Amino acid sequence: MSGSSPRFFSYIKLRFFARIRWFLEPKASMKRHTASDRFEKPRVADSDQEERQEEQVAKEREGAHQDGGLVVLRRAVKKLHFGSWEEKAAAADEIRRLAEEDLKLRKWLAELGVVPPLVAMIGSEVGGGGRWRFAVQALVALANGTYTNKALIVEAGILLRLPSNVEDLEEAARQELAQLLLSLSSLATSQFPLSSSKLLPFLFHILDSDSSLETKNLCLATLHNLSTMFGQAGNLVSHGILPTLLRLSSVQEVSEKALATLGNLVVSLQGKKAMENHPMVPESLIEILTWEEKPRCQELSAYILMILAHQSSRQREKMVEAGIVQVLLEVALLGSCLAQKRALKLLQWFKDGRRAKMGPHSGPQTGRVAVGSPVNQWEADEGRKIMKMLVKQSLYKNMETITRRANAALGSSSSSSSKLKALVVSSSSKSLPY
């Protein structure tokens, strides 16, 4: 008897916990267990009744959960308006959690007036506890997918609350603010007025700081959204954005967003003039054309070069002197379809030393305008001399290099081989392809 005592007590414990678990289960589950105990095979009618009971219990649970969520929501809103700093930070974190769950909850929260107190928290205690970051995270969640909430955040003065000294911010805080500004910048494509007087300096400070590439990418995406509005181009250029964009366009991790923004600015008169006079142009853009592993960057760089070369013999001369012809030959052979098309169009312009009409192209459509590449006979003669000298000295050497690279990249497919032969045959010391 004594030997079996431990086993007996273990059995008693198991029965006790089984009873407790059975007691805590909902009624529908209890009934299901009772039915399964009584009948080895329950009838269909009993099963249907149990299913209805389970659905009713599930609805009651969902209603209780929603009621509990509303209680939590009201409590968080109250603390946000009237609580201490610690309570406001906790309330902001709770609002973020609720806003991430459902779009309807985001709208309810905005209607309850949580946006102004959250915006008022931004920028406070910089260098201290950083509890205002909970407000930034909540605003990011509230702005997700709702135009109205974004407009409310801007109207509450978020752009006036941006910290003036970026260096005092931690990297995580910079990234969260950049994410919020990116979400708000989508308003630029609508009729909503989005002032950039405070926004642009903050973005520039981050781009010029030691922030991470991910944070800079968010800022560049924000600038790209702003640059899509033609009226903003002059404002962006006047704030000195071009040097920063050109510098970042040479960094492969963030180059695409920088080039896309430059592409929006260069179609404006002020943007094109500023780029023509910048010392990094066209060398930095020609260098980007050599990035075979970045086809999108090649396409954007070729687009910008087309805009600069259009109706500007001086810019074409600068490009030729910088060695663009050899690079364009490689892009025309190995680039993407769009990059090849733009490279061939540029080559066509460079080979034409006579007066010609430039028809429609992938740049801005300005109609059919008769344009003389050089403006006088002396420039025409000089252009032909430069082109002949460049072609004679380097064309065959470059074609040999291109052929070797093409064989390695494209293999021995018949279509690629025929394309390569066609390009080589059409290239001579007298004429460039296309």
pLDDT value at residue 303: 96
Q: Which tens digit of pLDDT belongs to each residue from 176-206?
A: 999 999 999 888 777 676 766 778 889 999 9
More confident residue, 167 or 26: 167
Domain membership flag for residue 22: no
Domain membership flag for residue 195: no
Q: CA–CA separation, 422 vs 434, rounded Å?
A: 11
Domain membership flag for residue 60: no
The DSSP result for 19-37, as a single string, is: HHHHHHS-HHHHHHHHHHH
Q: CA–CA separation, 403 vs 412, rounded Å?
A: 12
Instruction: Tally Cβ neighbours within 10 Å of residue 43.
Output: 10
pLDDT value at residue 280: 92
Q: Kindly calculate the radius of gyration of the chain based on its CA atoms and give it in whole angstroms.
A: 33
Is the Cβ–Cβ distance between 392 and 429 less than 8 Å? yes
Has residue 11 got a pLDDT over 70?
no
pLDDT value at residue 196: 65
pLDDT > 70: percent of the chain: 62
More confident residue, 35 or 316: 316
Q: How confident is the model at residue 372 (pLDDT cuts 50, 70, 90)?
A: very low
Domain membership flag for residue 372: yes
Q: What is the pTM of this model?
A: 0.67
Cis peptide before 282 (omega within 30 of 0): yes
Q: CA–CA separation, 200 vs 193, rounded Å?
A: 15
pLDDT value at residue 331: 92
Token output for 371? 């344009």
Phi, psi of 355 (to 5 degrees): -70, 135
Counting Cβ atoms within 10 Å, is residue 96 exposed (0-12), middle (13-18) or buried (19+)? buried
Q: How confident is the model at residue 400 (pLDDT cuts 50, 70, 90)?
A: low
Q: Which of 100-109, 372-381, 413-422 has the highest mean pLDDT?
A: 100-109
Has residue 314 got a pLDDT over 70?
yes
Closest to 120 in 3D by CA, of 165, 80, 169, 171: 80
Q: Which tens digit of pLDDT belongs to each residue from 232-290?
A: 788 888 888 899 999 999 999 999 999 999 999 999 888 999 999 999 999 999 999 99
Domain membership flag for residue 237: no
The DSSP result for 195-215, as a single string, is: --TTHHHHHHHHHTTT--HHH
pLDDT > 90: percent of the chain: 31
Q: CA–CA separation, 73 vs 61, rounded Å?
A: 18
Q: Which tens digit of pLDDT belongs to each residue from 113-123?
A: 899 999 998 86
**Residue 280 CB contacts under 8 Å (≥ 6 apart), including other chains:** 243, 246, 247
pLDDT value at residue 433: 36
More confident residue, 205 or 60: 205
Has residue 357 got a pLDDT over 80?
no
Q: Which tens digit of pLDDT belongs to each residue from 131-168?
A: 788 999 999 999 988 888 999 999 998 988 888 888 88
Q: CA–CA separation, 47 vs 34, rounded Å?
A: 12
pLDDT value at residue 355: 42
Task: Please report, for the chain, how many H helices and E strands are present, in that order.
Answer: 22, 2
User: What total number of domains does the chain contain?
Assistant: 1
pLDDT value at residue 27: 43
Q: CA–CA separation, 163 vs 199, rounded Å?
A: 11
pLDDT value at residue 431: 38
Domain membership flag for residue 71: no
pLDDT value at residue 189: 75
H helices of 290-413, where?
295-309, 313-321, 324-334, 337-351, 377-410
Is the Cβ–Cβ distance between 75 and 44 less than 8 Å? no
Domain membership flag for residue 396: yes
Q: Which of 78-92, 244-258, 281-295, 351-365 has the lowest mean pLDDT?
A: 351-365
Tokens 């059975």 -> residue: 22
Is the Cβ–Cβ distance between 216 and 255 less than 8 Å? no
* Structural domain containing residue 388: 312-434
Query: For the residues 300-314, what does the mean pLDDT come to?
Result: 91
Closest to 139 in 3D by CA, of 106, 102, 165, 172: 106
Q: CA–CA separation, 267 vs 264, rounded Å?
A: 6
